[in-house]
Amino acid sequence: MNRILRKGPVELATVALLCLWHPAPAAAGVITYATSNLVVPHTGDYYGITYGYNATGVGGGVGFGVNNSITGGTCEVSSCSGAGTGTLDTSGLLTSSFDQSSALASDGAGGSFSSSAYAVADLASGTVGVAASGTLYQNVGGLGGAYAEVDDTLNFSAGGAGASDVTDITVTYSLDGTYSGTPGVAGVSTALFFGNADLQYYLASDGTVHVQSNAGWVSSGFLSTSASNIVFTGIYALTGPATNNLGVQLHLYANCGQGSSCDYSHTGVIGLNLPGNVTFNSGSGVFLTQTTPEPASVWLLAAGLLGIGLRTRFQIARRRIRKVL
């Protein structure tokens, strides 16, 4: 079954499903947008409505401004309507935001199709969430797109550490959600940037998880890689008594519809587990001040990865000593 997909506002970040994200200069803030599109049969024209907060820069410089509602395209059926709401602050400096939109079309003969989208981001809890869906109508129909991002800079202090001492910290990222419907226009992608380390992967429309990048960590591993539950742990090395202006970014994007739905709106969460001598503050002043406890199994995996990192570092040091001798 072939489905027509006409480019519209919802596709600004679709490229993220196919290629790697690239981190922007770190700054404290959040970005959300939610787009609901209605793709018209035969012509492929669309009617869409978008709500976005602080979304300038999304998709390589193309954005929606601060909480702008954008309605675009042409309604070539009997009727089209859209609605949305979201964060109303216009300062561009908020540390949390949400946006949601919905659209409905009628063909005038008893047939209808719809789409919806939702996005939320919060620095205090280190969370992002998205949901998108759309109904199938004559091989096309509704298509939702949602994007959420948090950005901050972190400053770490390692008490008692010398200039060349290395201190390992644990970074976790978990994502829970659901995908339903026959494989169609659907996909979810996410990326975590932490200093010079990153994790990037996407969920294809068949529910399989594809890791695109996992680099810069001392060691890393997945506790789970199912479409409904992905749990990652990475060990990151801090050098010296202070590490300043370390950028952290978390992105989550969903593009689902035409008979499919994706709901990852509650549990995209980043977490830190620090040794007793390590403290940090953030550029926003609120990053991870409201944390959600991680399952004990995550920290068991982290403990194992820390052991691997320490053993690897010890083996490297021992080889260097042997070369000197």
124 against 316, higher pLDDT:
124
Structural tokens at position 172: 């976790």
With a cut of 70, say whether residue 204 has pLDDT above it: yes
Structural tokens at position 248: 């952290």
Q: Point out the least confidently predicted range of 106-110, 207-211, 305-309, 321-325.
A: 321-325
pLDDT of residue 177: 92
Nearest in space to 154 (alpha carbons), one of 53, 238, 214: 238
147 against 206, higher pLDDT:
147
Give the chain's radius of gyration (CA, Å). Answer: 22
Give a three-class secondary structure readout of 160-203: CCCCCCEEEEEEEEEEEEEEEECCCEEEEEEEEEECCEEEEEEE
Nearest in space to 245 (alpha carbons), one of 28, 10, 81: 28
With a cut of 50, say whether residue 54 has pLDDT above it: yes
What count of residues does the chain have?
325
With a cut of 50, say whether residue 5 has pLDDT above it: no
Q: Which of 18-22, 94-98, 215-219, 298-302 is modeled with the greatest confidence?
A: 215-219
Mean pLDDT of the chain: 79
* End-to-end Cα spacing for the chain: 69
DSSP H or E run through 105: strand 96-106
Strand intervals (E) in 182-259: 185-194, 197-203, 209-215, 219-226, 229-239, 242-257
φ and ψ of 95, to 5 deg: -105, 5
CA distance 90 to 92: 6
Q: Point out the least confidently predicted range of 2-11, 87-96, 160-169.
A: 2-11
DSSP H or E run through 295: none
Contact (Cβ atoms closer than 8 angstroms) between residue 29 and residue 121: no
With a cut of 90, say whether residue 7 has pLDDT above it: no
Contact (Cβ atoms closer than 8 angstroms) between residue 128 and residue 109: no
Domain assignments of the chain as residue spans, ordered by start = 9-324
pLDDT of residue 102: 92
With a cut of 70, say whether residue 8 has pLDDT above it: no
pLDDT of residue 67: 55
